């Protein structure tokens, strides 16, 4: 007997196969949709703690004008007071271990300079801190977090352009606490904090740039998921 599929025109054959599979695919999707859990609720107001496993604190600085050297701090923590109905009332406090700066593949001499008195002077100033003082809501999900940064023994104001990425009240069985996420960016001049070593001369890029660009990605966990009363929609 001749195989029916082998005698079909290619387009006709594909159409026939798709038609045959359609009931299986659509019924399968119907089961998947029906089995989906209800959409998670939004995050509640309360105190939130940084999820260190889902956070990064990196920065970039010009090197001789040839590249933007990028590195990060490995150890830092933050606490956040948060109310989704009143974002302007949010308060965040961050502490960074200055010695945790990660200079991947750096020469030992460079590592010594960065940790030494010319830059961070981590023996004398082991912590870097940031405390928010004001939050401006620019538009839904877009914020300016204004606060004081203490770095190298100097305290100065810093503004972080921040995006609130959303969150939820928790996910039963998988993530039983509230979770929210943010992306933030800002910049500072290291000379404002007393770190002027190797800054380029006016009109030159030869050296290590004065401007430091900061990039933050952070998730926070908050109050435990509240049980939904039976019979609730």
If asked whether residues 179 and 208 sit together in one domain, one would say yes
If asked whether residues 168 and 81 sit together in one domain, one would say yes
Q: SS in 3 state form for 142-196? A: EEEEEEEEEECCEEEEEEEEEEEEEEECCECCCECEEEEEEEEEEEEEHHHHCCC
If asked whether residues 28 and 50 sit together in one domain, one would say no
Two tokens, residue 86: 């009143």
> Which residue has better confidence, 146 or 106?
146
- 219 class by beta-carbon count within 10 Å (0-12 exposed, 13-18 middle, 19+ buried): middle
- Is 40 domain-assigned? no
Question: In which domain, by residue range, is 28 found?
Answer: 5-35
Long-range contacts formed by 18-26: CB under 8 A, 24+ apart: none
- Is 212 domain-assigned? yes
CB atoms within 10 A of CB 68: 12
If asked whether residues 17 and 62 sit together in one domain, one would say no
- Is 232 domain-assigned? no
User: So what's the pLDDT on residue 31?
Assistant: 31
Structural domains counted in the chain: 2
If asked whether residues 132 and 193 sit together in one domain, one would say yes
Confidence band, pLDDT 50/70/90 cuts, at residue 140: confident
167 and 178 Cβ atoms separated by less than 8 Å: yes
Query: What are 185-225's pLDDT values in tens digits?
Result: 999 999 999 999 999 999 999 999 999 999 999 999 999 99
If asked whether residues 130 and 167 sit together in one domain, one would say yes
Give the residue among 187, 193, 178 at the shortest CA–CA distance from 214: 187
- Is 184 domain-assigned? yes
18 and 8 Cβ atoms separated by less than 8 Å: no
Query: What are 46-93's pLDDT values in tens digits?
Result: 999 999 999 999 999 999 999 999 999 999 999 999 999 999 999 999
If asked whether residues 130 and 198 sit together in one domain, one would say yes
Residues above pLDDT 90, as percent of the chain = 73
How does strand 46-63 pair with strand 76-82?
Answer: antiparallel
- Is 230 domain-assigned? no
Provide the mean pLDDT of the chain: 85
- Is 41 domain-assigned? no
| pTM for the whole structure | 0.80
Non-local CB neighbours of 37 within 8 Å, separated by 6+ positions = 171, 172
If asked whether residues 126 and 161 sit together in one domain, one would say yes
């Amino acid at each position: 007997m001749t195989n029916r599929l082998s005698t079909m025109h290619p387009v006709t054959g594909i159409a026939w196969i798709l038609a045959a599979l359609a009931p299986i695919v659509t019924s399968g999707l119907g089961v998947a949709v029906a089995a989906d859990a209800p959409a998670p609720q939004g995050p509640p107001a309360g105190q939130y703690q940084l999820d260190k496993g889902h956070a990064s604190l990196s920065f970039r600085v010009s090197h001789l004008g040839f590249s933007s050297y990028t590195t990060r701090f490995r150890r830092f923590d933050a606490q956040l007071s948060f109310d989704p109905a009143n974002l302007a009332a949010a308060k965040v406090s961050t502490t960074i271990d200055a010695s945790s700066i990660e200079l991947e593949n750096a020469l030992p001499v460079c590592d010594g300079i960065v940790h030494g008195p010319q830059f961070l002077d981590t023996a004398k100033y082991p912590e870097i801190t940031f405390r928010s003082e004001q939050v401006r809501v620019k538009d839904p999900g877009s914020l300016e977090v204004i606060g004081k940064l203490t770095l190298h023994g100097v305290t100065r104001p810093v503004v972080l352009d921040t995006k609130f990425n959303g969150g939820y009240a928790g996910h039963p069985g998988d993530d039983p606490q509230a979770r929210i996420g943010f992306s933030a960016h800002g910049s500072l001049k290291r000379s404002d904090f007393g770190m002027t070593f190797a800054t380029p001369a006016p009109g030159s890029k030869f050296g290590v740039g004065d401007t430091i660009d900061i990039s933050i990605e952070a998730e926070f966990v908050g109050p435990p998921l509240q049980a939904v009363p039976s019979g609730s929609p």
